[in-house]
């Protein structure tokens, strides 16, 4: 939603006089604006432009009234009063933020034809994309400026209702900023990426979540995607196994090599042992070049969960040699049932046919563009669609966005990464049910902060009856036991103080990557059992914030997560 849940409960605990009356008015107008924003969000996503225009007009009326209610001399004087002044100032900033978005961002967002961001009739209209780009650039600049303005408002000392309203608004604007950034980048980058200035070729790789790697799953099937003037077609297809083993290995960055040895440079299925997708993509591109003599312009990675989202928009597709693939069965079919019923040689053929069928449906079926945009927004948010361009000037534009899959070298709030790599040599990742809780702990005298991480892995694998293709190498000894290498990346400059597996201190490996300390533990889970890994993590520098974030390996079954925040160290 654009601003769903903008304000909850009462904004002000003011008493008496003109300021109290104006505070009551501001609260009423902002609550009305929140309801209208929810309606506007639903109408934009649903493509109901006429109703969205009327809702926007009502939203502007309410947000403008809230702004005026907090902009008279009495309110300005009240902002200088001890204690209550900070609350009045924060409410004023909230009202201004909502009104700026209602007047400067949302109208341009409605004017922009977002349908040009998705294919129609087998191609994307790159000319129309460039026309839309100017509107989306203005929308994004307004949203980003509003985001920066609100970031300067301190929540310390505010009454609970105002502080919560500020936190909620920041969260909603963060989500909106992610969407507008992606749309802005798409409108600017899609024309050249799709061959508006000359033909392009990319590798589309499927991450096999049945055999986990840090970015999702091992790179399994691949296809060459050819693009010219907005028209896209699928070329040759193959599997990572067909690329073979590389000796001497492709050069691996020093930090990743210290953690994983030469494996990422030797085996195409291991390039993404690192969670930093640009490294994995560059290694895979070079392997493809050495094997085929063909150079591509970038790498696009997706997983079967993304296909389930797309099939919800396109409807089922027919795949030769298998059941029709639908949103409900595609994950189960590709990650489990295909390994149970097909021989290894048949599997690669079937996976290639499935990819071609979904690709064809996406580019040729008439699908509601708003639905597709929602699908892509969800998939990018979950880091299930990743893209790397071999052209440095384009790659810099993606920066450290979720689409780029780049492990940030700096944090705005402490980020803890939990990345899973299969150690079984099997396809048992489909049966894993992961959960993670991150709790913000004590403020230390040196200004750093403790974070307590709890990761639980539960296996739903049966005790018998699985095929050899599923059981694979059985490197954990018992072929039905799932062995997972759990790598915990601290906030930048941070450290791990201790690690316990099921309450007992456990041996771990160590290293670093992109300014983050890395601790890796081997966790083996028998069928029907669960194991819990607990770590105490230290932030790398003084941090007053009581917030934290988790970055997790996307899995076939979504993680169950919880982040428990704490008051600022300054309170």
Strand partners, 238: 222
Those residues with Cβ within 8 angstroms of residue 298's Cβ, 6 or more apart along the chain or in another chain: 193, 200, 202, 203, 281, 285, 387, 388, 389, 390, 391, 394
Under CATH, which number does the domain 411-564 receive?
2.60.40
Q: What are phi and psi of 359, to 5 degrees?
A: -60, -45
Question: What's the pTM value of the predicted model, to 2 decimals?
Answer: 0.81
- CA pair distance 513, 295, nearest whole angstrom: 28
Q: Are 403 and 182 in contact (CB under 8 A)?
A: yes
The pLDDT of residue 157 is 64
Is residue 439 over pLDDT 90? Answer: yes
Interval 357-372 mean pLDDT: 77
Instruction: Determine the longest span between alpha carbons in the chain, in angstroms.
Output: 80
The two three-digit tokens of residue 445, written as one number: 């005298």
pLDDT confidence bin for 159, thresholds 50/70/90: low
Q: What are phi and psi of 371, to 5 degrees?
A: -65, -45
Is residue 8 over pLDDT 50? Answer: no
pLDDT confidence bin for 170, thresholds 50/70/90: confident
Q: Burial letters for 100-115: b for 16+ Cβ neighbours within 10 Å, e otherwise?
A: bbbbbbbbbbbebebb
In this chain, the answer to whether the domains covering 200-396 and 411-564 adopt an identical fold is no
CA quadruple 459, 463, 465, 471: dihedral sign: positive
Q: What is the pLDDT of residues 174-186, one digit of tens each?
A: 777 776 777 777 7
Fold of 200-396: Aminopeptidase (3.40.630)
Is residue 81 over pLDDT 60? Answer: no
Which of 123-127, 196-200, 344-348, 427-431 is modeled with the greatest confidence? 427-431
Q: What is the pLDDT of residues 246-290, one digit of tens each?
A: 999 999 999 999 999 999 999 999 999 999 999 999 999 999 999
Extents of the domains making up the chain: 17-193, 200-396, 411-564
> How many C-beta atoms surround the C-beta of residue 117 within 10 A?
22
Element (H, E) at 509: strand 509-513
> How many C-beta atoms surround the C-beta of residue 338 within 10 A?
20
pLDDT higher at 541 or 395? 395
Task: Return the minimum-mean-pLDDT range out of 8-17, 172-181, 492-501, 536-545.
Answer: 8-17
Is residue 234 over pLDDT 60? Answer: yes
Distances (CA, A) of 372 to 125, 369, 438, 440, 493: 16, 5, 32, 37, 39
Q: What is the pLDDT of residues 103-127, one digit of tens each?
A: 888 787 777 766 666 677 677 788 8
Alpha helices in 199-320 (DSSP H): 240-243, 254-260, 263-266, 277-292, 304-314
Q: What is the pLDDT of residues 17-37, one digit of tens each?
A: 444 545 556 566 666 776 777
The pLDDT of residue 208 is 94
Place of tokens 């939603």: 1
């Amino acid at each position: 939603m654009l601003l769903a849940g903008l304000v909850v409960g009462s904004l002000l605990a003011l008493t008496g006089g003109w300021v109290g009356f104006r505070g009551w008015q501001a609260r009423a107008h902002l609550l009305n604006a929140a309801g209208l924003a929810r309606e506007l969000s639903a109408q934009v996503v649903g493509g109901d432009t006429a109703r969205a225009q009327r809702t926007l007009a009502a939203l502007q009326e309410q947000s403008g009234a809230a702004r005026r209610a907090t902009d008279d001399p009495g309110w300005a004087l009240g902002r200088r009063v001890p204690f209550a002044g900070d609350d009045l100032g924060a409410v004023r900033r909230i009202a201004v933020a909502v009104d700026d978005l209602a007047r400067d961002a949302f109208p341009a967002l409605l004017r922009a034809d977002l349908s040009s961001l998705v294919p129609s009739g087998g191609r994307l209209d790159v000319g129309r994309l460039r026309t839309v780009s100017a509107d989306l650039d203005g929308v994004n600049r307004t949203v980003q400026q509003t985001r920066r303005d609100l970031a300067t408002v301190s929540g310390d000392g505010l009454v609970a209702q105002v502080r919560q309203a500020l936190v909620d608004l920041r969260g909603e604007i963060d989500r909106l900023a992610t969407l507008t950034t992606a749309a802005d980048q798409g409108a600017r980058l899609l024309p050249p990426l799709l061959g508006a200035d000359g033909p392009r070729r990319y590798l589309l790789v499927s991450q096999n979540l049945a055999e986990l790697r840090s970015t999702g799953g091992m790179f399994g099937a691949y296809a060459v995607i050819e693009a010219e003037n907005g028209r896209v077609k699928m070329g040759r297809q193959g599997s990572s196994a067909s690329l073979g083993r590389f000796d001497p290995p492709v050069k691996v960055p020093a930090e990743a090599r210290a953690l994983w040895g030469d494996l990422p440079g030797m085996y195409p299925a291991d390039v993404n042992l690192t969670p930093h997708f640009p490294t994995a993509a560059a290694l895979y591109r070079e392997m493809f070049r050495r094997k085929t003599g063909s150079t591509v312009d970038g790498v696009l990675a997706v997983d079967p969960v993304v296909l389930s989202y797309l099939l919800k928009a396109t409807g089922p597709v027919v795949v030769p040699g298998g059941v029709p693939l639908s949103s409900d069965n595609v994950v189960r079919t590709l990650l489990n049932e295909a390994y149970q019923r097909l021989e290894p040689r048949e599997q690669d053929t079937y996976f290639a046919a499935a990819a071609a069928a979904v690709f064809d449906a996406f580019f040729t079926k008439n699908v509601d563009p708003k639905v597709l945009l929602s699908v892509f927004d969800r998939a990018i948010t979950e880091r299930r669609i990743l893209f790397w361009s071999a052209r440095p000037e384009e790659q810099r534009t993606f920066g450290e966005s979720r689409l780029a899959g780049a492990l940030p070298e700096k944090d705005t709030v402490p980020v803890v990464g939990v990345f899973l790599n299969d150690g079984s040599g099997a396809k048992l990742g489909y049966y894993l049910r992961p959960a993670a809780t991150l709790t913000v702990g004590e403020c230390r005298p040196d200004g750093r902060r403790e974070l307590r991480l709890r990761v639980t892995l539960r296996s739903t694998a049966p005790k018998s009856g699985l095929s050899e293709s599923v059981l694979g190498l059985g490197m954990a000894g018992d072929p039905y036991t799932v062995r997972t290498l759990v790598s915990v990346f601290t906030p930048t400059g941070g450290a791990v103080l201790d690690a316990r597996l099921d309450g007992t201190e456990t041996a771990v490996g160590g290293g670093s990557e992109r300014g983050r300390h890395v601790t890796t533990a081997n966790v083996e889970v028998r069928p029907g059992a669960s194991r819990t890994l607990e770590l105490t993590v230290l932030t790398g520098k003084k941090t007053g914030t009581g917030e934290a974030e988790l970055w997790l390996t996307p899995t076939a079954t979504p993680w169950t997560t919880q982040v428990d925040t704490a008051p600022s160290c300054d309170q």
